[in-house]
Amino acid sequence: MVAKLLGLAFLFLPVSLVTCATHVQIKSNWEVVYQDISVYGVVGKAVILECGTTLPDMYIWSFTKPGTEAIKAVVYDLGKGTRIQKLAVTLGQLTVISNSAAVSIENLPVAAQGLFTCQAFYDIEQEPKVVYHYVHLTVRVPVSKPYLLMSDVSPVEGSTMWMRCNLENGTGPIQYVWQHETRTGNISTFAQGNTSLINVTDVNRNHTGWFRCVASNNVNSERSNRLWLDTIFGPDIPQIDVTPYSMTERGYSALERETVALLCQAQSNPASQYVWFYNNSQVYTGPQLTITKILRMHTGDYACLAQNTYLNTRSRKTISLTVYYPPDGSPSCSVQPALNHTSLRLLCSWPGGFPSASLHWSEDLKRLGQEEADTRQQPNPLTNTAILLPADGLTSNNSLFSCMGSHPALKQSIACSTRSYVPPAEPVCFAYVTNNKQYLMLSCSWDGGAPKALVWWEGPGDQGKGGEENSNILILRYGTARSEKPYTCHAKHPLLVQTKTCRLTLEAPVLLTQRRVVSVYEGSDVQLTCNLRANYLPVSEITWFNNQGADTHDTSKYKLLRTSAWANLTVRDTDETGDSGEYRCTTSNAVGGTEINVTLVVKRHPMPPNATLINAMYNSRQRIEVELEWQVQSEEPGGWTGFLLEHRWVSERPGRRGSSNDSKDEAEDRIGPPVWSHNFIQDPDVRSHTVLRLTPTTTYQFRVTPVNHRTIGHPSAPKTPAEPRSNMYPAVIGAAIGGMLFAALLTALLLVYVIRNRNNNPRLHDMLFGLQHSQSRENINFPEDDVVGGSEGGIEEIGGFSSPGPTMALPRAASPLTASPMSATPSASQGPPPGDDNEPVSVTITVNATGS
């Protein structure tokens, strides 16, 4: 009751008797003390509102709702216990803490927010003090679970979007934190601030992931569920991976027959679709293009097209792929002369392939020589490598040089090699003449080296010929060749410092004959000889011209025996008038010609001595046989070969005709002209003969003519035979003749002996046969002592040569030359190479090949 009153007093009498807390200094002037304090509570929780530290004697709690002026009592205690007002129910479960003036409010409602005033009265009995405690109660609401909103959960990269963090409850100020969680779970703060909405400009692919927001105030913090943001983008420019990887300045490369995989990757959301193009034509769909056993024709441009089907965007990348392939076969090596055949150039080449093979000469060669990039000959220097070896580096014959060729498409290098060597033999020179005798060819060859040797000719005057490889033929117009100096062939090989030479000395032919003058008796065969002085091989043909100046051939008159060295002309059955004269033997070659004259003197045999018919007589009455006897004027035997016994009919004996032997012969004799009938006796020693089978009725004349071969002597005076004597004569005469025949036989035997032994008994021979006609009947050749009258003495000495041997004819054109003194080897002639179309005729030339 008292408290209630006090409360009323409070309301109406602000100056009260209440004393306040110990902190309060009660002023002596009775002034009321005012105290302010703020208290924060959370809705639904409990809060204690203090009213001083000591228990006052009386107190009144009142409440003023925010926004209103009215102050309303909640609870009081005027010394008679606490009295809780009805209003307190709206302010939560309000209780007064015992033994204090503080009140506790549980299950705090938001409506409890406002100003609580505790009017406390102390020392009411003595000196009352009044303290006003103003307690400002703030009731805070915790944030509720926010939820996230996005303007677009699948934004396109580069676009702008917003995110909002929505809350139902929560007192401010509220802080917002946006969290981003990547695909991998890495969580980071994306943004924070005091606004619930953020704008994301220029969304990118890194924004893809989970988002959540966290809202916080002074009471608590709550986070939302996460939300997936999927950024749409791409495709980016594709990336192409080539396996196996091999990059060159031109692009990618692959080796032929390898398997090549081209993988295309382009970042994109959603994932890219891939299409492959080869040289702008579509070949494949899908990210990886695999070419098994790639070939060189697969070289070209490969393009990958990536497409984002959602955005309908695309991007493209092109690479160039080159397929490497090796050249065919193996490298080839060769050796060539260089710098005028003083050096070697080694060539190594391996054309084809891509890229070009790389070629290397062996290391020691590179040290010796000087590498050349021979770009003149080949547009691509890599297919060719040359090395120049100078002369001083080359001494050894038969050296081997090798070159290695390598190519990226080959596992192993391939080598080639070449050798350099000097021709095995010495240079060979020879000469020949073309068939039509238009040209003289001097040939020089030095075959068989590697590289080939350089061969050139130097001759007298300006005659010469520049270098050619292996062999060289100097062609001279026939007749322009010179004989005074040798023609020298030079041959140079890079492996030899010295030049080799061989020489040809041209020499005009010289003809010889055994005799310049040949005399024979007519009727015999005679051989004229002609031969070349030196044993020239091959020789030009020797030609014989007869005494009429005509070319001779084998006829009944002439027989020509010919070899390369000589030509013998046999004149058959010589005749004094027809065959005597100058015979000419000629030959010639490119340097000159010559001829030799042989005088043939055909002599008649000497006149036989006169013979006289000393006896001509019928040996019987039948008159059919006549015995003849004759004698020779000079009884020296020999010199003639026989006798010609002749008879001729002179007249018919009258009356004797009937008994005459009526033979045919006689009838012919009678009607024929009075010609001589011949009877040849081929025995110079016979001096008598019986002519048989005469016609008895006819008168004959007989005569004898000595014969010396073809020379017929003077006939004797003709004789008519005498009549036979008595019948007994024949026996006597027969006996006498028999004795004479025996004597004649002895004489004949003696003569035969003397002739056969004339050398042993020259005096006897000379005595019997004289000095003039000493040759045998059968000797057709040279009468030993015969000298052709009228010839200027000493026919055997011609052209100043006084030789006891065969006669020599000098060449017409040029004087003979001997072989060069430098000639080391004897003359050697050689025929033209076989198979030559223009088969040369022989020419007489001495060839001296000299090596050095």
Ligand X SMILES: *[C@@H]1O[C@H](CO)[C@@H](O)[C@H](O)[C@H]1NC(C)=O
Q: What residues make contact with ligand X under the rule CB under 6 A?
A: 144, 162, 168-169, 173, 184, 186, 188, 194-195, 197-199, 204, 206, 279, 299-301, 340, 397-398, 421-422, 424, 514, 529, 531, 561, 566, 568, 582, 584, 597, 610, 633, 659, 661, 714
Q: Rounded to the nearest whole angstrom, what is the least distance from the CB of residue 460 to ligand X in the complex?
A: 17
Q: Which is nearer to ligand X, 597 or 761 (CB)?
A: 597
Give min distance, CB of 833 to ligand X, in A: 21
Query: Of 767, 757, 768, 750, which is closest to residue 637 (Cα–Cα)?
Result: 768
CB-nearer residue toward ligand X: 173 or 805:
173
**DSSP of 542-606, one letter per residue?**
PEEE-TTSPBP-SSSSEEEEE-SSBEEEEEPS--HHHH-EEEEEEEE-SS-EEEEEEEEEEEPPP
Closer CB to ligand X, 79 or 460, in the complex: 460
The answer to whether 793 and 500 are in contact (CB under 8 A) is: no
**DSSP for residue 653:** P
Quick one: 549 or 831, whose CB is closer to ligand X? 549
The token duo for 596 is 């030799």
Q: In angstroms, what is the minimal distance from the CB of 269 to ligand X?
A: 12
The SS3 assignment for 469 reads strand
- The residues, any chain, with a CB within 8 Å of residue 561's CB and separated by 6 or more, are 567, 568, 569, 570
CB of 494 to ligand X, least distance (A): 12
Q: Which two tokens stand for residue 326?
A: 């090796």
User: How far apart are CB 644 and ligand X at their closest, in Å?
Assistant: 15
Min dist CB 51 to ligand X, Å, is 28
Query: Using CA atoms, how far apart are residues 432 and 840, in angstroms rounded to an integer?
Result: 6
Contact assessment for residue 176 and residue 193, using Cβ atoms and an 8 Å cutoff: yes
Q: How far is the CB of 425 from ligand X (least distance, A)?
A: 8
Residue listed under structure tokens 């995989």: 261
**Closest separation in Å from C-beta 713 to ligand X:** 8
Residue nearer to ligand X on the CB measure, 173 or 790: 173
Measured from the CB atom, the residue of 17 and 344 that comes closer to ligand X is 344
Q: Smaller CB distance to ligand X: residue 194 or 760?
A: 194
- 79 vs 5, 87, 121, 498, 795, CA distance in Å? 10, 21, 10, 154, 206
Kindly tell me which of 519 and 531 has the beta carbon lying closer to ligand X: 531
Choice between 186 and 412, CB closer to ligand X = 186
Beta bridge partners of 72: 63
Question: Please, which residue, 21 or 596, has the CB nearer to ligand X?
Answer: 596
Q: Which is nearer to ligand X, 65 or 559 (CB)?
A: 559
Nearer to ligand X, 422 or 764 (CB): 422
Cis omega (within 30 of 0) on the bond before 715? no
Determine phi and psi for 670, rounding to 5 degrees.
-70, -45
Least Å distance between CB 490 and ligand X? 7
Task: Give the separation between CA 695 and CA 669, rounded to whole angstroms.
Answer: 9
Smallest gap from residue 831 Cβ to ligand X (A): 23
287 or 337: CB nearest ligand X: 337
309/45 Cα distance (integer angstroms) = 58
Distances (CA, A) of 818 to 167, 501, 530: 138, 19, 21
In the complex, minimum distance from the CB of residue 389 to ligand X, in angstroms, rounded to a whole number = 16
- Of 31 and 662, the one with the shorter C-beta distance to ligand X is 662
Cα distances from 451 to residues 392, 399, 502, in angstroms, run: 17, 12, 20
Helix, strand or coil, per DSSP, at residue 731: helix
Tell me the C-alpha distance between 238 and 266, whole Å.
4
Cβ neighbours of 657 (radius 10 Å): 13
Q: How far is the CB of 610 from ligand X (least distance, A)?
A: 4
Distance CA 472, CA 430 (A): 11
Which helix H or strand E contains 378, and what residues bound it? none
Q: Which is nearer to ligand X, 54 or 663 (CB)?
A: 663
Instruction: Let me know: does 74 contact 112? Beta carbons within 8 Å.
Output: no
Question: Nearest distance from residue 195's CB to ligand X, in Å?
Answer: 5
**Least distance (Å) from ligand X to the CB of residue 551?**
13
Return contacts of 731-735, CB within 8 angstroms, 24+ apart. none
Residues 6+ apart with CB under 8 A from 102: 48, 49, 50, 51, 96
Whether the CB-CB separation of 332 and 322 falls below 8 Å is answered with no
Q: How far apart are CB 157 and ligand X at their closest, in Å? A: 8
Report H helices in 772-831: none
**CB atoms near residue 347 (< 10 Å):** 21
Closest distance of CB 751 from ligand X, Å: 22
User: Cα–chain-centroid distance for residue 750?
Assistant: 96
134 vs 676, which CB is nearer to ligand X?
Answer: 676
